[in-house]
Structure 1
Amino acid sequence: MKKSLKRINSVFIMAAAMMLGGCAMGGATGQNTVAGNAALDAGEYQQAQQLFADAVQSGEEAVLAYRGLGLSYMGLAQYEDAQQAFSDALEYTDGRMPENKLDLRLHLATAQYRQEEYEDTIETCDEILQEEKKGNADAYFLRGASHLYRGEQEEAKADFDAAVKLAPEDYDLYLNIYQCYNDENISGLGGEYLQSALNIQGEDMEHYYNRGRIYYYLEDYETAQSQLIGPVEQKYEPAMELIGQVYLRLGDYEHALATYQQIQEEFGKTPQSYNGLALCAMADGDYSTALSYIGEGLALEGSAGKQELYFNEIIAYENMQDFETAKAKAQEYVQRYPGDEAGQKEWTFLSTR
């Protein structure tokens, strides 16, 4: 039986990704902290983790060093360690640092959320919203999602509506809310938020791209394709990556393959583009070619953007009935990304064969 794949460039941004933006808080002067922020910007989370650990050990700015350490752990899906790092950073803040406290509490709430510690997430968001008199969209979203996963639909909707009121043109927010409802098998309620997102006005390529994302999640792939044509013709990279996924959903593997090849020609070879090529081959049942693409992607310098390649490598070996290799790859995967639930499930499945 074919196993599910991880697709490139997810069309929604979950809370952890939301909170990874803006890696440098500013004011960093320590050598390891500055280098760590650069590594975070490049998505090199293992390198960043070591640099921030060195920054902590050498006594560099504690708030920035622990914050960077937390972000590194978030990028590695090591959420328990991230939570501790953000808590440590908060210990070094004072009343003169309200913006830093807000930033760190949002990261802390995200780490708690990713561990499914919903009661703690709600408590942290309560603290944020008690101090932020004008409200905070991210805190409302995290609290609302936590309420939803606790079965508290009325409280969830109130928080989601408050978040949308504060950020009425944030497509990612609408998509995140939809995904939460979808996780709970009540996507009809989430679909109302996607319909609201379609009312956002704008005629530039980013708006067309975002509307394409909405239709993609509504599983209206033909309309998604029509929305993406303009940005794709302008060679807007996110739109090109998404239309590749649309072609895969439509079973048009020839156009999907051509799209990812064009992406490599226009923007260079990246782990994401190789993952797209691998998905095309896997969709066509050609797992040997898929593994070849995956190998080329993993051979690229650096570790950024390779998680989906590592995951799909496991799936390719499974579908080739090479369970021993798949098991070994799954073990390596959970060591790299211990917080990834899909990876843990694969490891558990393969360990019991």
Structure 2
Amino acid sequence: MILKKVLILLLAGMFLLSGCGSSAGLIAEAGKKLEAEEYEEAEDIYAQVVETGRYVSEGYRGMGICQIAQGMYADACISFEKALLYVESQSADYTKDVELYLAYCRQHHGEGDKAMEIYDGIIARDADPDVLYLRGKLYMDMGKTSEASEDFDRAATLSNDYDLFINIYEVYASHDKKGDGSSFLEKALQIVSDSDKNYYNKGLVHYYLQNYEESKTNLISALDEDPSDGKSILLLGRVYLSMGLTADARAMFNEHILNGSNAASAYNGLAMCDMEEKNYESALSNIEAGLALGDAEADRGLMYNRIIVYEHLKDWNSAKAQAAAFVQKYPTDEAGMRENEFLSTR
């Protein structure tokens, strides 16, 4: 479990309960609220689960997840600690799951050392490649590059997972160490090359490796299969921009707007073109046009780029306001949290 998907896991069938009466009904009701992003209401219902005295650990776990979604990391730490305290007959996987949530909260509450202790304990029991990745990422954030490298290399020997290799590369890239992470891209490429499809994944690896022609070919194939694939639209636009083909990028994005295939992502793409040309007022206009479409999948990228545009315009008050709104809506987004922290010093 990589905690990038931290809010999805609860909705993937964690609570397969039977004969639980009101507790089961409350858990099902809370799950619906959580899926609808009604976090306060969901938290209240999980609290009711705790009060029933049945599935107390699961109730605290649910409360913790709701608190993460609201950026309440201190409260979430307490909830997950209580969830562990009330573990009874649950599986070892359940306990590990709660421990990972607790480690995630510790990190985001500024308690990296405590998070490290949790990862150490889990790995001592089971050298899970995903947990090795998480500990390696934490080592890298702490500036302990050699320890991070050891964990990443060990994770790579235990896994053949494309996403893991991409995640490791992205950690290196975020710390200006792309060269150190390139070997993991090669491993990721070997995995997806075994398939005739996986066009987006191939395009992403080639993009990171700066093989732009190969990336473009694969992404065009991805869009031939699914013209509304927002990820492929945006990545192909980035490829065009990296190749210096801004006009081609604009033409592609405008085509998607005209035919209505993921127009919100296309407006975000036009904003990227504007930013490349330092036309920030136009970028802001395109971002607002994209947000007006109400596309939940595209909103995150649009809202993040709006922060960046205001920074370029040196409109620090608007940038701060938009960053605060962003982290309130997406409290687990690390890039958003970094921008919010940066802007707090302006």
Match of 1:55 among 5, 24, 45: 45
Instruction: Supply the distance in 1 between the matched residues of 2:41 and 2:174 (Cα, whole angstroms).
Output: 36
* 1:173 counterpart (164, 167, 181): 164
TM-score computed with the length of structure 2 as normaliser: 0.78
**Aligned partners of 2:80 and 2:101 also within 8 Å:** yes
Question: For structure 1, which runs of at least 5 residues remain unmatched after alignment?
Answer: 1-13
Alpha-carbon distance in structure 2 between the residues aligned to 1:185 and 1:106: 27
Q: Distance in 2 between matches of 1:39 and 1:216?
A: 38
* Native 8 Å contact 1:191 1:218 kept in 2: yes
Change in Cα spacing, 1:196 to 1:301, as seen in structure 2 (3 Å) is closer
The structure carrying a bigger helix percent of its residues is 2
Q: Return closer, same or farther for 1:149/1:283 CA change in 2, 3 Å cut-off.
A: closer
| Residue identity (%) | 31
**2:60 paired residue among 47, 66, 83:** 66
Call closer, same or farther: CA 1:54–1:31 in 2, change over 3 Å. farther
1:327, 1:347 within 8 Å by CA — same for their partners in 2?
A: yes
Q: Which residue in 1 is equivalent to 2:342?
A: 345
Tell me if 1:112 matches 2:106: yes
Greater RCO structure (CA 8 Å; 6+ sep): 1
1:219 to 202, 210, 220: 210
Give the TM-score taking structure 1 as reference length. 0.77
Paired residues in the alignment total 327
Give 1:96 shift.
Answer: 3.4
Match of 1:156, SS?
Answer: helix
What one-letter code is carried by the residue in structure 2 that aligns with 1:56?
A: Y
Superposition map of 1:185-334 within 5 A = 185-200=176-191, 201-206=193-198, 208-235=199-226, 237=229, 238-263=231-256, 265=259, 267-270=261-264, 272-301=265-294, 306-333=299-326
2:340 maps to a residue whose letter is G
Moved more, 226-235 or 258-267: 258-267
For the 8 Å contact 1:121–1:142, the answer to whether it is kept is no
| Residue 20 of structure 2: aligned partner | none
Q: Compared with structure 1, are the counterparts of its residues 30 and 299 closer, same or farther at alpha carbon in structure 2 (3 Å cutoff)?
A: farther
Residues 1:116 and 1:253: Cα distance change in structure 2 (over 3 Å):
farther
- Superposition pairs of residues 17-28 of structure 1, within 5 angstroms: 17-24=4-11, 25-27=14-16
Query: Given the superposition, is the C-alpha separation of residues 202 and 131 from structure 1 closer, same or farther in structure 2, using an over 3 Å criterion?
Result: same
Any idea what SS the aligned residue of 2:226 has? coil
Distance change (3 Å), C-alpha of 1:347 and 1:334:
farther
